[in-house]
Amino acid sequence: MMTRLHFQTDTGTRVPAVTESEMREVDRLAVEDLNLGILQMMENAGRNLAITAKEMLNQNEDRVVVLAGSGGNGGGGICCVRHLLNHGITPSLILSKSTEDYRGAAGHQLSILQAAGYYPTMDAVDRTIIEADLIIDSLLGYSLKDAPYGLTRELIAQANQSKSRILSLDLPSGIDATTGESPGTRIQPTRTLTLALPKTGLCSIDGDILCADIGIPLQVYTSMGIVVEPFFMGRYRIPIRPALSLE
């Protein structure tokens, strides 16, 4: 039997962690077998991310920068922008690629913002990052294979060099979701909001970790042989930390 890493909530409930391949299968089953839409899960992720961001801002702070890649993680960050706008915060959205590279769910989220008259920040990007009260990292998700490169690497470096607090979505950009190792540069978050279940690689990071409910039914995990007891219990985001022992 495989030894499974667990995290623990602030109330003592144990939560199993999943590897990159397991999380990929979770997403596939949720979409293909249970007809849970990618945009539904992304909307839940973006809303939870916006709420977490607002909680991290002190009074009179409103300079938020969202760094967004072109994949599913970036789509969650772009969705977060819309929710922040609806709550009176106008964040700067900095894309790691040209807008034409944003397709699928991430492209859909970007098109909503553009139709509403909101557009990504194009000028003085480095200054915008340095002056931010909070940086939201949604550059890379659990599919990391190689070291970050190009503009993504530059944005990670600029975020780390700033004195801003950093909130990462799902896991910090630049780390392997399974091992926690970094093939290159990695972002250094103040807090990480992981989605559905914690990833095993999160044991290696610094900073607080929250786990967010994005609506995946527990039956998905059961079908994979992963025992997950209800652990959100009235909350959609819950603090977690690595458990002291394995099971």
Query: Residue 204: what pLDDT?
Result: 86
C-alpha–C-alpha distance, residues 88 and 193, integer Å? 22
Q: Each residue of 10-19: pLDDT tens digit?
A: 999 999 999 9
Model confidence at 150, in pLDDT bands (50, 70, 90)? very high
Query: Residue 4: what pLDDT?
Result: 86
| Cα 49 versus chain centre, distance | 8
Query: Residue 106: what pLDDT?
Result: 97
Mean pLDDT computed over every residue of the chain: 95
Query: Residue 88: what pLDDT?
Result: 95
Q: Each residue of 159-168: pLDDT tens digit?
A: 999 989 999 9
Model confidence at 247, in pLDDT bands (50, 70, 90)? low
Q: Which residues pair with 64 in a beta bridge?
A: 134
Q: Each residue of 47-80: pLDDT tens digit?
A: 999 999 999 999 999 999 999 999 999 999 999 9
C-alpha–C-alpha distance, residues 142 and 19, integer Å? 9
- This prediction has a pTM of 0.96
Residue with tokens 């690595």: 242
Query: Residue 108: what pLDDT?
Result: 97
| 242 CB neighbour count, 10 Å cutoff | 18
Query: Residue 1: what pLDDT?
Result: 45
- E runs forming strands in the chain: 6-9, 14-16, 64-68, 92-95, 134-138, 165-169, 191-195, 208-212, 237-242
Mean local confidence (pLDDT), 210-225: 96
Q: Each residue of 69-127: pLDDT tens digit?
A: 999 999 999 999 999 999 999 999 999 999 999 999 999 999 999 999 999 999 899 99
Q: Which residues contact 97 (CB under 8 A, 6 or more apart)?
A: 69, 70, 151
Helices (H), 62-192: 72-86, 104-115, 125-130, 150-161
- Which CATH fold topology does 37-210 show? Rossmann fold (3.40.50)
Residue 246 has pLDDT above 90, yes or no: no
Query: Residue 36: what pLDDT?
Result: 95
User: Strand 134-138 vs strand 92-95: parallel, antiparallel, or unpaired?
Assistant: unpaired
Domains of the chain, residue spans = 37-210
